[in-house]
């Protein structure tokens, strides 16, 4: 309504299209994290990553088809169990680790507050920053489901911003304290830090539990994205006739399953690329960069 129907459709289409690259990236992270439950060596296996991407995405589509309420319940518990609690544990362990006089893998002084500048190529590092914070506005498509949108939605966004800052900044510093930068994996870095710190405190038995919690959080976030851009796409597509009739149809729970299914076919094809790229981290970076480019 603010920027004209055609431009609005273009905007929501870009938001939807970027998720086609986002899902393989986040599912690769889930695959790497999940491997720490039974075989950490698989975190660097392209074939294993491909299988997990395909299986988990289609399972998520089946779950999302049950409607917004089912996804929201999982998301709420996922944030608590798989994000806030592990994040707090990681920060606390890293803090105690330093207080014990242990050496930090990353230099912690004023000279290193800003990243080193190596010319234009250094700008590329901000890509993952944008990618990490992308999506805080996606939930606007559900604003009509709130009892008092004018009051509740701004409060929800403010809470989200605070949680995002708390979840991303201190735990990231904790990872850099525990794992040397040259050894940090883009998909398994969190579990690398947990393994180092848990081993130090002789709490290794918690590693599979934490991995399962992180996977739960990531899947809940995936479900939020599944129900976001595609919902906006089908709403304006039906209202203005911008989508073919086939894609305007929703199931009994009001979920645009046909759009998600078609997207799933494309994501399955993309997921197969993980089996061909030399390193999982490299494939993750490619898809994260593509998603961010389309998003911006």
Q: How far is CA 94 from CA 64, 91, 179, 211, 218, in A?
A: 37, 5, 11, 18, 23
Looking at residue 91, its pLDDT comes to 95
Measure CA of the first residue to CA of the last residue in the chain; give whole Å: 20
Q: What is the pLDDT of residues 3-46, one digit of tens each?
A: 888 898 888 888 888 888 888 888 888 888 888 888 888 888 88
| Three-class secondary structure assignment of 219-266 | HHHHHHHHCCHHHHHHHHHHHHCCCCHHHHCCCCCCCCHHHHHHHHHH
Closest CA to 17 of 198, 266, 280, 247: 266
Residues 249-282, buried b or exposed e (16+ Cβ, 10 A)? ebeeeebbbbbbeebbeebeebbeebeebeebbe
CB neighbours (10 Å) of residue 67? 15
Q: Which H/E stretch holds residue 90?
A: helix 85-99
User: Worst-scoring range by mean pLDDT, 106-110, 130-134, 236-240?
Assistant: 130-134
Looking at residue 275, its pLDDT comes to 79
pTM of this structure:
0.75
């Amino acid at each position: 309504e603010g920027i004209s129907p055609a431009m609005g459709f273009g905007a929501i289409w870009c938001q939807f299209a970027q998720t086609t690259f986002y899902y393989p990236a986040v599912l690769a992270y889930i695959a790497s994290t999940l491997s720490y439950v039974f075989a950490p060596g698989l975190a660097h296996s392209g074939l294993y990553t491909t299988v997990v991407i395909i299986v988990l995405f289609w399972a998520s589509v089946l779950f999302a088809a049950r409607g917004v309420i089912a996804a929201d319940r999982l998301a709420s518990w996922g944030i608590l169990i798989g994000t806030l609690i592990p994040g707090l544990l990681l920060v606390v362990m890293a803090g105690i680790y330093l207080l014990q006089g242990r050496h930090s893998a990353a230099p912690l002084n004023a000279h290193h507050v800003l990243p080193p500048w190596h010319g234009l190529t250094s700008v590329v590092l901000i890509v993952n920053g944008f990618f990490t914070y992308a999506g805080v506005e996606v939930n606007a498509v559900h604003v009509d489901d709130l009892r008092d949108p004018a009051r509740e939605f701004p409060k929800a966004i403010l809470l989200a911003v605070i949680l995002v800052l708390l979840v991303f900044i201190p735990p990231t510093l904790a990872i850099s304290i525990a794992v040397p930068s040259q050894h940090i994996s883009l998909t398994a870095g969190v579990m690398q830090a947990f393994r180092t710190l848990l081993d130090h405190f002789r709490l290794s038995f918690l590693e599979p539990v934490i991995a399962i919690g992180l996977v739960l959080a990531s899947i809940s976030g995936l479900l939020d994205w599944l129900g976001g851009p595609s919902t906006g796409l089908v709403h304006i597509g039906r209202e203005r006739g911008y989508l073919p009739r086939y894609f305007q149809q929703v199931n009994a729970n009001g979920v645009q399953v046909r759009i998600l299914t078609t997207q799933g076919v494309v994501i399955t094809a993309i997921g197969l690329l993980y089996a061909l790229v030399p390193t999982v981290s490299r494939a993750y970076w490619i898809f994260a960069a593509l998603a961010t480019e389309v998003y911006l």
